[in-house]
Structure 1
Amino acid sequence: MPASSPPPRAYSILFACPTGLSRSQVFVDFSASYDRMPHPDPRLEESISQIWDQRLHENPSLYNGLKFRFGGYLVHTTDEDLGNDSNVCIHLGLTDYRTFVGTNLSPLWEKFLISDENDSICGQHTASPLGNGAVVESADGKILVLQRSYNVGEFPGHYVFPGGHSEPQEIGISCHIRDEDTRNSSCLNDKVSEEMFDGITREVVEEIGVPAGSLTYPTFIGISRRLLNVRPTAFFHVKCHMESEDIRRFYSNAQDGYESTQLFAFSQDELRNVASKMPGCHQGGHALYELMVKEQKIL
């Protein structure tokens, strides 16, 4: 019998930096030009409210908060291998969770897409909030993975890395403000970039329960996108100075512990065995981590 072909990938890697990028190498262009464009079909637009109302009826705990919308990126580098002289500029607009549920997570999500090789054009009618995820390594070399609660909006019961979203409202953003002063615009871009790093640290602290002081500053390792629902997620590598057994004790009192049912501490080999059970964007996060590990072995 012919060998069976491997299952198709559930993700694509939009950007990978195996050596990792620090905060000073990650820039943001925050602009209304990266906001979602309404679809020309009014029935599709109306379906957003209908689907949100239905989901809210099924799960009253859902909350419609502002999110940063992913609008693409530009890489600047003087090194083909994305060395220390590299930096990336991430393009971000504004969207909200309601529109995410009504476009990306809609049963009609493919109808919101445009057939175009340019990712930004292809998904211009989707909310596509930029999620975040952290590959957290404990002091004894284990990788921390959560099993999601069955009450969450996306992939209930699945294995995931800690994460969620950076929050515009954490840095005082409630809407776009037209400002011709480039100094103010540059300052806001810096604040958004900083929130990308602060946001993932906050997610780890809230979901796992460890003190922020036990974590290293995040290193940005890339962006993956789940093929199902075209869901983009930025991934970071973080080390925790605590051993996995100590981390488990903190997890029992985690602020957002209700979002998950269990914390696992996997070896790299164990993680490879469960990665296929993750949502596609987190499978991509694991692939980005593997690229980082491979790069470290070479160095």
Structure 2
Amino acid sequence: MDPEVSLMLCCDPSQALEEHQMHVEIANRFNRQSFPEIEQHIESLWSDRVAREPWLFNGAKFRLHSALLSVPDEGDQSVRGDKLSNVSVKPNPSSVVKLELGLTCYKDYLGTNWSREARNLQSHGQDQCADAQAFLSQPLGVGAVMVTTDGDLVLLRRSQRVAEAAGLLDIPGGHPEPKMVCPGVREEDISVELLQGQERAVISEIFSSVCAEISDEVNVPVGSLSKPLFLGIALNHTSAGRPSAEFFVRCSLPTQEVRDLYRRGGPEAHESTDIMFLSREKMLQVNERAPLWSELCPSAKGAVLLYQRVMPDQ
């Protein structure tokens, strides 16, 4: 497999999961582990970055510690997803996925996953905690494989001005926001304790953020989008195994209308420069040998792999 990406969890063919099949546990023990030197490193990098880009601001993110996919009717077949392994299990309609979540932030991401020290931190985590990701931020992202009524799937050409994967093809996506679960609370005051007891709201934010990101980036109405279906979790190894939950979403608009809406520009139009449509048949044929593969950013590669495995008939 392409070294830039791997699959942490993958649902079985035609068995993508609905919102009610996701559970979360939120606890401080799922937060990033720490030691004084890494905190100094994070603060130093952040100070330098803000000095160069004073418009940057820190924000709370959900941290994915691990994920478990289980089939209750068939006994204990839970699979832990915290070892950066490729996992595929066979769920049925009673299957559930459980995400173990802590809190992290953008500043910690820049100082760990996106830092030149990431590999050393992974080695330290493996040695000290038997978990290569223990000292990394691991913010949970979301991405969407969106299909139009014509059966075309959407890809976006990332702007040259974005920090990661500039100029490459991506799927619509972003991050679920803890602040949406804690209205009126300042970002720096959001805590695990405030999120505990609001697990269903956290799950709702994860799923609703998928449609919100599509709407902001592609400029289609949220009302034109189906409820997202969870495909699995992909890991981006260009940012030290950063996780992204990938979803399948149908749009009730034809390809040409989606293209026209995109060209009018939405709230996040600055993040991409063009829209591209691939038929289902072509998307299923994309692999590492295809010329298009080298144009895909890691998150898009992960989403393509999950789509091909989970939704081959959709």
Q: Which category of TM-score, normalised to the shorter sequence, fits these structures?
A: 0.7 to 0.9
Q: How far apart are the structure 2 equivalents of 1:91 and 1:177?
A: 12
| Residue 140, structure 1, aligned to residue 136, structure 2 | no
How far the C-alpha of 1:208 sits from its partner, in A, is: 0.6
Gaps spanning 5+ residues in structure 1: where? Answer: 1-6
Give the CA deviation at 1:176: 2.2
How far 1:29 moved relative to its partner? 0.7
1:227-259 CA-partner distances (Å, limit 9, x unpaired): 222111000000001011101111122111111
Distance in 1 separating the partners of 2:296 and 2:193: 40
Q: Which residue of 1 aligns with 2:242?
A: 231
Instruction: Find the aligned partners of 2:140 and 2:44 in 1 and give their Cα distance.
Output: 23
**Is it true that 1:263 corresponds to 2:275 in the alignment?**
yes
Match of 2:56 in 1: 62
Corresponding pairs, count: 283
Structure 2 residue aligned with 1:100, among 99, 105, 109?
A: 109
Unaligned runs of 5+ residues in structure 2 are 75-88
Q: Distance in 1 between matches of 2:60 and 2:193?
A: 18
SS in 1 for 2:311: helix
CA distance in 2, matches of 1:199, 1:120: 32
| 1:7-156 aligned within 5 A | 8-17=2-11, 18=13, 19-38=15-34, 40=35, 42-77=36-71, 78=73, 81-114=90-123, 116=126, 121-156=131-166
**Paired AA for residue 196 in structure 1:** I
3-state SS in 2 of match to 1:121: coil
TM-score, normalised on structure 2?
0.83
- Residue equivalent to 1:4: none
RMSD: 2.4
* Aligned partners of 1:31 and 1:176 also within 8 Å: no
1:133 deviation in Å? 0.2
Query: For residues 247-274 of structure 1, what are the alpha-carbon distances to aligned partners after superposition, in whole Å with 9 as ceiling and x for unaligned?
Result: 1111122111111111111223544242
Q: Kindly provide the CA deviation profile for residues 87-118 of structure 1, in whole angstroms up to 9, marking residues without a partner as x.
A: 01101111111110111001111111146499
Distance 2:50 2:241 in 1: 22
Distance 1:89 1:246, change over 3 A: same
What is the identity percentage for the equivalent residue pairs of Structure 1 and Structure 2? 29
User: What is the CA-CA distance between 1:211 and the residue it aligns to?
Assistant: 0.3
Residue 60 of structure 1 and its aligned partner are, at CA, apart by 4.2
Deviation at 1:119, TM superposition (A): 9.9
